[in-house]
Structure 1
Amino acid sequence: MANNQIEDLRGFNAIYYFSQAVGAAIVVLVSLWTIHHRGGFAWRSDPAHEFNWHPLLMTIGMVYLGGNVNLIYRSLRNYGKKELKLAHVSLHSVILFMVLFGLVAAFDSHNFADPPKPNLYTLHSWIGLLTVILYFSQYVVGFFSFMYPGIADSLRAALMPYHVFCGVSIFIMSSCAVLTGLLEKAIWTLGANYASGGGEGFLMNFIGFLVIVYTFLIGYLLHKPAYKRSGRAKNS
């Protein structure tokens, strides 16, 4: 019966474009925060500023692009299935590169600090590392299951619900990682100034608020059955 679901796209475009505006605002504000308030970017010669790549790349990759890569079969529904599969895996590859780059920046900022800082002892780091491990596992399993030729259609059909569930779960976990990371950074770097309602603290809170809004918008677009591609569209 699920294959007979009738598309009803009323409201889809409005919510989709609003979600893209919110996502773009997140990217702009994180860029503003890391450049204006945190001093910009560097590499291993300056571990403190190297760290700034971490929140920027993780937010753009795992949250903004992560939401869009989950939504691609709905946002670009008029394209053929082969084109969408290629776009889906290509965007995941871009995200994976950004994630690896962001992870290196985070570990370098601890390992090359003077004195070195410990790694992986906060809740944010636990959530983030688990999310990255799951993302990489999802990427590998998804690539060999849906892109590798010769896999039986019955196996692909059996794996698809789990693939979709894991993709949405990883997206939600990514948003949780960003929220805990923002709070952790605000407490550690702003200290008592965080409670004073200063400009940087407000900006960080507002970024977190927009991440929540973006997550709910993408979640709604993914959850509503009427927004799913119809059986006809899937085979086009």
Structure 2
Amino acid sequence: MDSTIGTDPRDLEGFTFFYWLAQGLGVLLVVLVGIWTTHYRGGFAWSSDPKLEFNWHPMLMTIGMIFMYANGMMLFRYMRYHRKRQLKVFHATCHTLTFLVTVIALCAAFDSHNLAIPPIPNLYTLHSWIGLTAVILFCCQFVVGFSTFLFPGAKQSLRAALMPVHRYFGMLGFVLSIAAALMGLLEKAIFTSVPAYQRMEGEGLLMNFIGVVLVIFAAVVIYVVSNFGYRRIPMSEDETLLTTESQMG
């Protein structure tokens, strides 16, 4: 049972377990994708070797649009006793890093296609469509969140109205990222070698295991984020902050 129970009017039972379970699964995902891309896919390179450059795409997308994205969502649950201004800055910083990592991951994917001999067409698979949708949604969320919730001057009524929408589309973007990752794994398994994948050899087993961990990780993260008992309770300093920001605007 969590030590915070009894000091908070909301039910935090199980929070510590599920939060750190999510963190452990996230780290495991990064490690497994790292093993897959180095041991089975040949490692990493830049434009000098387009085939190896592609490996940056699954590696960085796992770090950015899955692990860091999830941490950005869970931050308001884990750091619930911090002041809201601090949380906003941490939240924005986490998503800024996610954006930068994602840009590099996308560049690696497009480069590996365009520099291949012969070139490989871009954006023709369902994986690419869903993945790009997740990235665009994340970018829209980032812009709206920065301009509405972080930048001083926005009216409290506007923030209150947009908050449920912001939460919903934030979670939707995360789910789409998980879906795109699962599609990408299957796509790579089929493109690489169908017979070997059917025989469930080492790489095939690892890719399937990564997919299972992805699903469990997503389920735990969504539970932590959507559980009402884990939500942050507004502090008295929040009202002071809002009043100050309103006067600045």
2:180 to 172, 177, 182: 177
Q: 1:48 and 2:51 equivalent?
A: yes
Identity across matched positions, percent:
48
Amino acid at match of 1:83: Q
Is the 1:44–1:108 contact (alpha carbons within 8 Å) kept by the matching residues of 2?
yes
1:114 and 1:167 map into 2 onto residues whose CA distance is 38
Amino acid at match of 1:22: L
User: Are residues 233 and 25 of structure 1, via their aligned partners in 2, closer, same or farther at CA, if it must alter by over 3 Å?
Assistant: farther
1:105-144 superposed matches below 5 A: 105-144=108-147
CA deviation after TM superposition for structure 1 residue 6, in Å: 3.7
Q: Which residue of 2 aligns with 1:79?
A: 82
Deviations 1:171-221 (A, max 9, x none): 000000100000000111132100101010100110010000000001111
1:63 to 56, 63, 66: 66
Q: Which residue of 2 aligns with 1:230?
A: 233
Q: 1:149 and 2:155 equivalent?
A: no
- What is the total number of aligned residue pairs between the two structures? 232
2:55 and 2:234 map into 1 onto residues whose CA distance is 44
CA deviation after TM superposition for structure 1 residue 233, in Å: 7.7
Q: Matched residue of 2:153: which SS? A: coil
CA deviation after TM superposition for structure 1 residue 234, in Å: 7.8
Q: Matched residue of 2:109: which SS? A: helix
1:145 and 1:157 map into 2 onto residues whose CA distance is 10
2:55 and 2:111 map into 1 onto residues whose CA distance is 11
Amino acid at match of 1:60: I
1:77 and 1:206 map into 2 onto residues whose CA distance is 33
1:96 to 78, 95, 99: 99
Is the 1:69–1:91 contact (alpha carbons within 8 Å) kept by the matching residues of 2?
yes
The answer for unaligned runs of 5 or more in structure 1 is none
2:213 and 2:194 map into 1 onto residues whose CA distance is 23
User: Are residues 167 and 234 of structure 1, via their aligned partners in 2, closer, same or farther at CA, if it must alter by over 3 Å?
Assistant: farther
1:187-202 superposed matches below 5 A: 187-202=190-205
2:41 and 2:108 map into 1 onto residues whose CA distance is 15
For the aligned residues, what is the CA RMSD?
1.4
Amino acid at match of 1:222: V
CA deviation after TM superposition for structure 1 residue 67, in Å: 0.9
TM-score normalised to structure 2 length: 0.90
1:6 and 1:179 map into 2 onto residues whose CA distance is 39
Moved more, 88-97 or 222-231: 222-231
CA deviation after TM superposition for structure 1 residue 78, in Å: 1.9
Is the 1:77–1:233 contact (alpha carbons within 8 Å) kept by the matching residues of 2?
no
Is the 2:80–2:233 contact (alpha carbons within 8 Å) kept by the matching residues of 1?
no
CA deviation after TM superposition for structure 1 residue 231, in Å: 2.8
The answer for unaligned runs of 5 or more in structure 2 is 1-7, 240-249
Amino acid at match of 1:164: R
1:49 and 1:174 map into 2 onto residues whose CA distance is 22
Amino acid at match of 1:118: P
1:101 and 1:234 map into 2 onto residues whose CA distance is 38
1:26 to 29, 37, 41: 29
Which gives a bigger RCO, structure 1 or 2 (Cα 8 Å, sep 6+)?
1
Is the 1:71–1:218 contact (alpha carbons within 8 Å) kept by the matching residues of 2?
yes
User: Are residues 210 and 234 of structure 1, via their aligned partners in 2, closer, same or farther at CA, if it must alter by over 3 Å?
Assistant: farther
User: Are residues 233 and 126 of structure 1, via their aligned partners in 2, closer, same or farther at CA, if it must alter by over 3 Å?
Assistant: farther
Q: Matched residue of 1:235: which SS? A: helix
1:125 and 1:234 map into 2 onto residues whose CA distance is 44
